[in-house]
Amino acid sequence: MDDPSALAELEAIPAFTTPVTLIDGEVVVGFDRGKLSELLGI
């Protein structure tokens, strides 16, 4: 990974699967279309 701060942020999240998405401080582990839509306001 080319961004050490992004890697540190990812390592701080206790998730052992992908994808992991961080939106406005909210962690979404796995693909959760409903949660992602809600957080993105779409």
Interatomic CA distance for residues 33 and 27, integer angstroms: 13
Q: Find the DSSP H helices in 1-42.
A: 4-12, 33-40
**pLDDT for res 1:** 57
Domain ranges of the chain: 4-40
Q: Express each pLDDT in 1-42 by its tens digit.
A: 589 988 888 888 877 888 989 999 999 999 999 999 999 999
Distance, CA of 16 to CA of 22 (rounded, Å):
15
* Predicted pLDDT of residue 9: 83
